[in-house]
């Protein structure tokens, strides 16, 4: 159980184009999803937190107009990198948390997707 | 504020030997601690977590971790390392009142055949 998928796993695009990455919780409903960015040999950098049906909360320094996040259902969140540039090339990882009733959200496990490697030429 | 430290960038261990990956933390409230493993070009896989109760937590793939409140540590251990355990390991911390999980910088485990 607790499987999270991401699509696509790899994407190469030209500078100036937009790229959409999907994150799905396959066997549970995720009230909260997170988007991270990981640079080579570095830890995860949280970009934003999204709750189903509401606007995402972006971390300081993350451009909300550039990284559009939509969490339209309890099993799907999307990250759109708009007008991508080479510096946006990175490994993007999503995670999902179920938000179980009666459970402290800070105690809940986040389950991660396999990641999406984005290369902008 | 809360923080997590993984003092070793890399740990090398011979196959069959016990392994330890270190993690220390700092938090003002109750800590909720997690270990994840990441294989190359993959997302993070959950190994185990400590919320409350027994200080020794057992997880996936034979891993366990010991919560030590006095030393503010949560070291990951395995009695006998496998070559397939070679990966990047992340310690993570959450606590009541803090909105997001804090990840350590990761420790690369290399198990030598």
User: Mean pLDDT, chain A, as a whole number?
Assistant: 90
Say what the pLDDT of residue B43 is.
85
User: Considering CB atoms only, which of B43, B96, B105 is closest to A112?
Assistant: B43
Nearest-angstrom CA–CA distance, A116 and A81: 12
- Answer whether B88's CB lies under 8 Å from B36's CB: no
Mean pLDDT (10-residue bins), chain B, 113 residues: 92 98 92 93 90 92 96 97 96 77 93 96
Say whether A49 and B99 touch across the interface (CB within 8 A).
yes
Q: Is B66 on the interface with A (CB under 8 A)?
A: no
Distance from CA of A85 to the nearest CA of B (A): 21
Say what the pLDDT of residue B86 is.
96
Say whether B100 and A49 touch across the interface (CB within 8 A).
yes
Distance from CA of B91 to the nearest CA of A (A): 10
Q: Which of B72, B31, B37, B75 is nearest to B56 (CA)?
A: B75
Say what the pLDDT of residue B71 is.
96
pLDDT for residue A34 is more than 60: yes
């Amino acid at each position: 159980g607790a499987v999270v998928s991401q699509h696509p796993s790899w994407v190469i695009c030209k500078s100036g184009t937009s790229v959409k990455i999907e994150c799905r919780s396959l066997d549970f409903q995720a009230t909260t999803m997170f988007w991270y960015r990981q640079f080579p040999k570095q830890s995860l950098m949280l970009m934003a937190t999204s709750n189903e049906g509401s606007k995402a909360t972006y971390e300081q320094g993350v451009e909300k107009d550039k990284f559009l996040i939509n969490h339209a259902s309890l099993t799907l969140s999307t990250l759109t990198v708009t007008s991508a540039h080479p510096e946006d090339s990175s490994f993007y990882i999503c995670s999902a948390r179920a938000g179980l009733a009666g459970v402290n959200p800070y105690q809940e496990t986040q389950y991660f997707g396999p990641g999406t490697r984005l290369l902008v030429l | 504020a809360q923080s997590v430290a993984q003092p070793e960038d890399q740990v090398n261990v011979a196959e069959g030997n016990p392994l330890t990956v270190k993690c220390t933390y700092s938090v003002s409230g109750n800590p909720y601690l997690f270990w994840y493993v990441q294989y190359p070009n993959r997302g993070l896989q959950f190994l185990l977590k400590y919320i409350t109760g027994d200080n020794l937590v057992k997880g996936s793939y034979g891993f366990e971790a010991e919560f030590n409140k006095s030393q503010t540590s949560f070291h990951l251990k395995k009695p006998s390392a496998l070559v397939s355990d070679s990966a990047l390991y992340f310690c993570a911390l959450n606590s009541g009142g803090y909105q997001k999980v804090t990840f350590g910088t990761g420790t690369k485990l290399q198990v030598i055949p």
